[in-house]
Amino acid sequence: MSASKETEGAVAVITIRNPPVNALSQQAVESILKVLKEVQFDPAVKAIVICGENGKFSAGADIRTFENIGQKSDSLSHFLEDVNSMAEKSEKPVIAAIEGVALGGGLELALGCHYRVAHVKARLGLTEVLLGIFPGAGGTQRLPRLIGLLPALEMITTGKIVFAPVALKLGLIDSVTEDNTIKAAIHFAQNVIGKPLESRRLCTKPIQCPPNMETIFNDSKIKLKKLFHGAISHQLCVEAIRAAVQLPFAEGILKERELLFSIFNSEQARDQAKARQYAFFAERRVTKWTTPSGANWKSASPHPIGVAAVIGLGTMGRGIVVCLAKAQIQVIAVEQDGKQLEMGRKAVTKILERETLTMQQRGLALMSDSFGSITFTLDFNSLKNADLVIEAVYENMALKKEIFKQLSSICMPEAFLCTNTSGLNIDEIASVTGRPHLVIGTHFFSPAHIMKLLEVVRGYHSSPTTISTVINLSKVLGKIGVVVGNCPSFVGNRMMGPYLHQAIFLLEDGCYPEEVDKVLEEFGLAMGPFRMSDLVGLDVGWRSRMESGLTGPKLLPGALVRQREGKRYSPLPDILCEKGRFGQKTGRGWYQYETVGGRNAVPDPWVQNFLHDYRKAHTIKQKPTSQNEILEWCLYPLINEGFNVLEEEIASGPEDIDVIYNNGYGWPRHMGGPMFYASMVGLPKVLTKLEVFYENNPDIPSLKPSGLLKKLVKQGSPPLKEWRSQLGYQNSKL
Ligand X SMILES: CCCCCCCC/C=C\C/C=C/C(=O)SCCNC(=O)CCNC(=O)[C@H](O)C(C)(C)COP(=O)(O)OP(=O)(O)OC[C@H]1O[C@@H](n2cnc3c(N)ncnc32)[C@H](O)[C@@H]1OP(=O)(O)O
Distance separating alpha carbons of residues 613 and 619, to the nearest angstrom: 10
Candidates 87-95, 135-143, 236-244, 584-592: pick the segment binding ligand X (CB under 6 A). 135-143
Q: For residues 574 and 656, which CB has a smaller minimum distance to ligand X in the complex?
A: 656
Please give the helix or strand (H or E) that residue 273 lies within, else none: helix 267-285
Handedness of CA 361, 367, 368, 370 (dihedral sign): negative
CA dihedral 192, 196, 200, 203 (to 10 degrees): 150
Minimum Å gap between C-beta 472 and ligand X is: 13
**C-beta of residue 309 within 8 angstroms of C-beta of residue 390:** yes
Name the residue type at position 191: N
Q: Among residues 11, 23, 224, 686, which is the contact residue for ligand X, using CB under 6 A?
A: 23
Q: What is the DSSP string of 3-22?
A: EEEEEETTEEEEEE--TTTT
CA dist 532 → 38, 84, 333, 467, 584 (Å)? 60, 46, 30, 31, 10
Q: For residues 23 and 333, which CB has a smaller minimum distance to ligand X in the complex?
A: 23
Looking at residue 24, the DSSP 8-state letter turns out to be: B
Q: For residues 69 and 540, which CB has a smaller minimum distance to ligand X in the complex?
A: 69
Q: Among residues 82, 88, 128, 539, which is the contact residue for ligand X, using CB under 6 A?
A: 128
CA dist 285 → 68, 482, 677 (Å)? 20, 10, 18
Does 662 sit near ligand X (CB under 6 A)?
A: no
Does 536 sit near ligand X (CB under 6 A)?
A: no
Q: Among residues 97, 113, 124, 137, which is the contact residue for ligand X, using CB under 6 A?
A: 137
Q: For residues 37 and 284, which CB has a smaller minimum distance to ligand X in the complex?
A: 284
Distance separating alpha carbons of residues 714 and 708, to the nearest angstrom: 10
**What is the DSSP pairing of strand 563-564 with strand 480-484?**
unpaired
674: closest CA among 716, 730, 632, 630?
Answer: 632
Which of these is catalytic: 81, 99, 128, 514?
128
Does 110 sit near ligand X (CB under 6 A)?
A: no
Distance separating alpha carbons of residues 438 and 413, to the nearest angstrom: 9
Q: For residues 131 and 456, which CB has a smaller minimum distance to ligand X in the complex?
A: 131
Q: What is the DSSP string of 46-115?
A: -EEEEEEGGG--B--B-GGGHHHHGGGGHHHHHHHHHHHHHHHH-SS-EEEEE-SEEETHHHHHHHHSSE
Q: Which of residues 273-292 bind ligand X (CB under 6 A)?
A: 273, 284
Which of these is catalytic: 108, 521, 632, 655?
108
Candidates 131-139, 212-220, 480-488, 532-540: pick the segment binding ligand X (CB under 6 A). 131-139
CA 390 to chain centre: 23
Does 20 sit near ligand X (CB under 6 A)?
A: yes
Q: For residues 31 and 486, which CB has a smaller minimum distance to ligand X in the complex?
A: 31
Residue 128 designated active-site = yes
Residue 81 designated active-site = no
Distance separating alpha carbons of residues 387 and 256, to the nearest angstrom: 53
Distance separating alpha carbons of residues 584 and 392, to the nearest angstrom: 23
Q: For residues 187 and 479, which CB has a smaller minimum distance to ligand X in the complex?
A: 479
Q: Among residues 12, 61, 240, 709, which is the contact residue for ligand X, using CB under 6 A?
A: 61
Does 482 sit near ligand X (CB under 6 A)?
A: no
**C-beta of residue 80 within 8 angstroms of C-beta of residue 109:** yes
Does 331 sit near ligand X (CB under 6 A)?
A: no
Minimal CB distance to ligand X: which residue? 104
Minimum Å gap between C-beta 35 and ligand X is: 20
Q: Among residues 39, 129, 131, 532, which is the contact residue for ligand X, using CB under 6 A?
A: 131
Candidates 96-104, 246-254, 591-599, 701-709: pick the segment binding ligand X (CB under 6 A). 96-104
Does 157 sit near ligand X (CB under 6 A)?
A: no
Q: Among residues 12, 14, 21, 153, which is the contact residue for ligand X, using CB under 6 A?
A: 21
Does 538 sit near ligand X (CB under 6 A)?
A: no
Q: Among residues 59, 87, 470, 471, which is the contact residue for ligand X, using CB under 6 A?
A: 59
Does 62 sit near ligand X (CB under 6 A)?
A: yes
Candidates 97-105, 336-344, 380-388, 415-423: pick the segment binding ligand X (CB under 6 A). 97-105
User: Terminus-to-terminus CA distance in the chain, angstroms?
Assistant: 35
Minimum Å gap between C-beta 291 and ligand X is: 20
Does 533 sit near ligand X (CB under 6 A)?
A: no
Q: Which of residues 63-82 bind ligand X (CB under 6 A)?
A: 63-64, 66, 69, 73, 76-77, 80
**C-beta of residue 276 within 8 angstroms of C-beta of residue 235:** no
Q: For residues 21 and 243, which CB has a smaller minimum distance to ligand X in the complex?
A: 21
Helix (H, G, I), strand (E, B) or coil at 618: coil
Q: How many residues can be counted in the chain? A: 734
Q: For residues 63 and 532, which CB has a smaller minimum distance to ligand X in the complex?
A: 63
Burial-class residue 146 by CB neighbours within 10 Å (0-12, 13-18, 19+).
middle
Q: Which of residues 179-198 bind ligand X (CB under 6 A)?
A: none
The residues assigned a catalytic role are: 108, 128
Binding site for ligand X (CB under 6 A): 20-21, 23, 59-64, 66, 69, 73, 76-77, 80, 101, 103-105, 127-128, 131, 133, 135-137, 270, 273, 284
